[in-house]
């Protein structure tokens, strides 16, 4: 579930509410659009109800690591999918709750800012710990038996830090959200070397949505990773604190009632497993088609949805688009509307390649065993906007049999 977050507008300081996945925000007070830069680990705070008699500078903020995302596991003859949203202590303390439970989803949390004047306990658990814990949780929910794990991928994951406010009252330590006693107060909570004050570096930075090529205002959904300039027909994504152009093609629609859904077209090869062309992929996965010269000439190219959707459907759409890619028309560098926002980063899409090979294979046992030896090197990538006819219940691709339920696309924006 997406978290609801409050923060201050970087332009006028007014309150702004956004969802965790949102990048583009519009302030209702100054009407200025700002794009949030991906600055690494995000830090959030649960809202507290600490009594006014408690000095805010004495508040203690306890860290929890949060993982939200999809885990794909290839074992034996099966591909398993799990959607997880879990929190875990960033510091091992026996008396503190091991998890935040549903509180982050049930409350409007805050971005950590300069008004939080207490002390932040240092995390002793690295971010990779929450990934390991997520893997263990995924295994605990599945009956793998003694099947060998051939491949595991984290796709569309988010790792963040959520702080639980604590305070001391007498000789007791209290939960600042529930005002409930947790345990007796331990002196180490306030030790200087175990905590730090707020750092300005923790605050997110924002960019003005100005096209770097022509200076016009760019557009996009609130959760879009790629913005569009319809003035000079440019797509841009944030990289290292600035907008950079993204190579794209838009396949022109034949039907005026069409919606454009983005895909990452990723050209790759794996020398050790001799995967260099579409024909090689068809033979490896034992597809029931006659391999012809067109397959031989087509370099190995994967079509990965650039939108977040449920794991099982994500792989099925990637499989169908990859196998039917020769039916798609050539695109142009000219934008049209309406466009579904890009919500799946290219990096995450690249991590899905092995899982797509596994999903595509007819004889999964034979192909899954080869996954550890398949290592893809990326040659090039392009963002492709494919036209889908909106039939009311489904989006149906005009040139192929590929279809996606419209409800699946809408729900995916909340993943």
Confidence at residue 116, expressed as pLDDT on a 0 to 100 scale: 86
Yes or no: say if 209 and 217 are a contact pair by the CB < 8 Å rule: yes
Q: How confident is the model at residue 345 (pLDDT cuts 50, 70, 90)?
A: very high
Which of 225-229, 237-241, 326-330 reaches the highest mean pLDDT?
225-229
Contacts of 135 by beta carbon, 8 Å cutoff, 6+ apart: 71, 152
**Average pLDDT over the chain, rounded to an integer:** 89
The residue ranges of every structural domain in the chain are 40-202, 247-412
d(Cα 350, Cα 119) in Å, to the nearest integer? Answer: 39
pLDDT score of 38:
76
Distance CA(300)–CA(379), nearest Å, equals 10
What does the pLDDT look like over 278-316, one tens digit per residue? Answer: 999 999 999 999 999 999 999 999 999 999 999 999 999
Q: What is the pLDDT of residue 142?
A: 65
CA distance 109 to 176: 14
What mean pLDDT comes out for the span 109-120?
88
Can you give the pLDDT at residue 244? 96
- Is pLDDT at 101 greater than 70 in this prediction? yes
Least confident range from 169-183, 193-207, 373-387, 396-410: namely 193-207
Say whether the peptide bond before residue 23 is cis (omega within 30 degrees of 0).
no
Cβ contacts of 73 within 8 Å, gap of 6 or more: 79, 80, 82, 138, 139, 142, 144, 149, 151, 152
Q: What is the pLDDT of residue 139?
A: 72
Give percent of the chain above pLDDT 90.
54
Give burial (CB, 10 Å; 0-12/13-18/19+) of 375. Answer: middle
What phi and psi values does residue 346 have, to the nearest 5 degrees?
-60, -40
Return the pLDDT at 375: 93
**pLDDT of amino acid 143:** 65
Whole-number pLDDT of residue 144: 60
């Amino acid at each position: 579930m997406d978290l609801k977050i409050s923060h201050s507008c970087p332009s006028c300081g007014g309150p702004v509410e956004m969802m965790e996945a949102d990048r583009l925000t519009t302030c209702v007070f100054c009407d200025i659009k700002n794009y949030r830069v991906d600055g690494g680990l995000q830090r959030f705070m649960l809202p507290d109800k600490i009594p006014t008699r408690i000095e805010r500078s004495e508040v203690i903020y306890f860290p929890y690591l949060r993982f939200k995302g999809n885990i794909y596991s290839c074992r034996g003859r099966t591909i398993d999918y799990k959607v997880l949203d879990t929190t875990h202590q960033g510091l091992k303390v026996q008396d503190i709750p091991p998890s935040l439970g549903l509180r982050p989803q049930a409350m409007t949390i805050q971005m950590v800012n300069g008004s939080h004047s207490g002390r932040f306990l240092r995390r002793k658990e690295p971010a990779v710990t929450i990934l390991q814990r997520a893997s263990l949780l995924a295994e605990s929910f599945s009956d793998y038996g003694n099947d060998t794990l051939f491949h595991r991928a984290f796709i569309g994951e988010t790792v963040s830090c959520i702080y639980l406010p604590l305070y001391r009252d007498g000789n007791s330590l209290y939960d600042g959200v529930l005002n409930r006693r947790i345990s007796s107060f331990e002196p180490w909570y306030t030790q200087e070397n175990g905590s730090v004050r707020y750092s300005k570096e923790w605050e997110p930075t924002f960019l003005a949505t100005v096209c770097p090529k022509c200076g016009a205002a760019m557009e996009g959904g609130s959760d879009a990773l790629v913005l569009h300039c319809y003035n000079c027909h440019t797509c841009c994504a944030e990289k290292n604190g600035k907008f950079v152009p993204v190579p794209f093609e838009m396949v022109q629609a034949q039907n005026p009632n069409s919606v454009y859904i983005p895909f990452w077209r990723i050209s790759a090869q794996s020398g050790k497993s001799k995967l260099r062309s579409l024909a090689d992929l068809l033979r490896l996965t034992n597809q029931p088609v006659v391999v012809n010269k067109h397959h031989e000439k087509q370099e190995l190219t994967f079509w990965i949805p650039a939108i977040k959707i449920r794991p099982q459907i994500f792989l099925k759409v990637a499989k169908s688009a990859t196998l039917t890619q020769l039916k798609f028309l050539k695109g142009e560098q000219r934008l049209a509307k309406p466009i579904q926002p890009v919500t799946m980063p290219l990096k995450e899409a690249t991590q899905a390649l092995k899982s797509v090979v596994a999903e595509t294979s007819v004889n999964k046992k034979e192909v899954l065993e080869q996954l550890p030896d398949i290592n893809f090197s990326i040659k090039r990538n392009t963002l492709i906007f494919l036209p889908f006819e909106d039939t009311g219940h489904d989006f149906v691709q005009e040139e192929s049999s590929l279809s996606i339920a419209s409800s699946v696309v809408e729900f995916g924006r909340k993943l």
